[in-house]
Amino acid sequence: MAKCAICGKGAYFGNMVSHSHRRSNKVWKANVKSVRVKTPQGNKRMYVCTSCLRSGKVERV
Pairwise CA distance, residues 48 & 36, whole Å: 9
Pairwise CA distance, residues 36 & 21, whole Å: 44
Pairwise CA distance, residues 27 & 42, whole Å: 35
Taking only the tens place, the pLDDT of each residue in 6-58 is 999 999 999 999 999 999 999 999 999 999 999 999 999 999 999 999 999 99
pLDDT for 25: 98
pTM of the model: 0.78
pLDDT for 35: 96
CA torsion sign for 44, 50, 52, 57 is: positive
pLDDT for 1: 73
- Give strand ranges (E) for the chain: 12-17, 23-28, 32-39, 42-49
Instruction: Please report, for the chain, the start and end positions of each structural domain, with discontinuous segments joined by +.
Output: 12-55
pLDDT for 46: 95
